[in-house]
């Protein structure tokens, strides 16, 4: 069974938590990691290959340093994985729709794909649009927030999954091929083995650019994008007053409750 795992390289989460202007951080460089949600998508892909055979192809669109993310993925999946780097200066400044267009073309080029797996969202752009748009462009059903893959019926070409909703769980069956975005409950990503890391370091990863994918300049980059980001900035810093209430716990609780009531917080 042919599986595709979509993987984005993002700035390091720890850095993002200190500096929310992720786009500026991306432009300037800094430590980069595999989007944490995509590790769960890849783990799901490797497990499907272990159960049903075939191969899981990791696709990542980005700058040349994205190769490192692909090598991390290959080190995790070993022989069960292949990787393709979707890199071209013409892809720069693509919005999520353009990104999805590039990924969709690459998925078609991989050929006969049964399941496309993506993370819930990317920790930097965080639109959670890309996987939905890939599904729409490929005319495939989309199942979001998947926490369990209950059954894949290869003969009947169907998949049954459990989706996490705000107020419960939903079991859904759909036809294959399909696009899934996954949550953590699906299963902890495995650690790469030492041998896996060594082999991945030497792997020759093919690069597919706009020409290879048959994409014209008006379909990609700023020309093909419907959404522009003219500016990205930190939220304004709010003034805050700090007051420490001292005393015995009972007294402190009473004073605090009175203050919260006076401020209409409770």
Residues of this chain that interact with ligand FAD (CB under 6 A) are 6-8, 23, 26-27, 35, 37-38, 41, 59-62, 93-96, 99, 103, 118-119, 121-122, 124-131, 225, 227-229
Minimum gap (Å) between residue 256 Cβ and ligand FAD: 40
Minimum gap (Å) between residue 54 Cβ and ligand FAD: 19
> Alpha helix (H) ranges present in 88-129?
96-110
Interhelix angle 194-202/66-77, nearest 10 degrees: 140
Residue found under tokens 């020759």? 204
| Cα three-residue angle 231-237-242, rounded to 5 degrees | 165
Would you list the DSSP string of 39-57? HHHHHHHHHHHHHH-SEEE
Minimum gap (Å) between residue 243 Cβ and ligand FAD: 40
What sign does the dihedral 146-147-150-154 (CA atoms) show?
positive
Closest CA to 11 of 106, 125, 89, 87: 125
Q: Which is nearer to ligand FAD, 129 or 255 (CB)?
A: 129
Minimum gap (Å) between residue 132 Cβ and ligand FAD: 8
CA distance 56 to 46: 6
Q: Which is nearer to ligand FAD, 118 or 162 (CB)?
A: 118
CA distance 71 to 58: 10
Q: Which residues sit opposite 216 in a β-bridge? A: none
Q: Which is nearer to ligand FAD, 23 or 197 (CB)?
A: 23
Minimum gap (Å) between residue 227 Cβ and ligand FAD: 4
Q: Which is nearer to ligand FAD, 41 or 161 (CB)?
A: 41
Three-state DSSP at 9 gives strand
Minimum gap (Å) between residue 220 Cβ and ligand FAD: 11
Residue 133's H or E segment, with its range, is helix 130-138
> Alpha helix (H) ranges present in 203-248?
210-213, 221-224
Q: Which residue is nearest to ligand FAD (CB)?
A: 125
CA distance 90 to 221: 6
Q: Which is nearer to ligand FAD, 228 or 265 (CB)?
A: 228
Q: Which is nearer to ligand FAD, 168 or 230 (CB)?
A: 230
Minimum gap (Å) between residue 154 Cβ and ligand FAD: 24
Q: Which two tokens stand for residue 236?
A: 């304004």
Q: Which is nearer to ligand FAD, 60 or 114 (CB)?
A: 60
């Amino acid at each position: 069974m042919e599986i595709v795992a979509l993987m984005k390289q993002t700035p390091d989460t720890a850095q993002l938590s200190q500096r929310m202007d992720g786009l500026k951080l991306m432009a300037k460089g800094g430590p980069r990691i595999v989007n944490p949600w995509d590790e769960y998508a890849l783990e799901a892909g490797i497990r499907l290959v272990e159960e049903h055979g075939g191969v899981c192809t990791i696709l990542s669109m980005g700058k040349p340093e994205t190769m490192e993310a692909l090598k991390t993925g290959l080190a995790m999946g070993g022989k069960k994985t292949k990787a393709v780097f979707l890199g071209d200066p013409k892809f720069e400044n693509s919005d999520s729709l353009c990104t999805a267009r590039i990924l969709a073309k690459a998925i078609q080029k991989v050929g006969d794909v049964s399941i496309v797996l993506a993370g819930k969202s990317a920790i930097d752009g965080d639109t959670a649009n890309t996987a939905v748009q890939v599904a729409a462009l490929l005319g495939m059903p989309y199942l979001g927030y998947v926490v369990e893959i209950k059954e894949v019926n290869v003969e009947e070409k169907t998949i049954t999954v459990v989706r996490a909703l705000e107020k419960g769980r939903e079991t859904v069956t759909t036809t294959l091929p399909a696009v899934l975005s996954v949550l953590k409950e699906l299963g902890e990503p495995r650690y790469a083995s030492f041998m896996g890391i060594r082999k991945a370091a030497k792997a020759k990863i093919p690069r597919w650019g706009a020409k290879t994918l048959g994409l014209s300049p008006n379909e990609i980059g700023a020309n093909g994008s419907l959404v522009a980001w003219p500016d990205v900035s930190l939220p304004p810093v709010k003034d805050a007053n700090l007051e420490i209430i001292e005393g015995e716990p009972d007294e402190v609780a009473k004073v605090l409750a009175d203050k919260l009531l006076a401020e209409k917080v409770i």
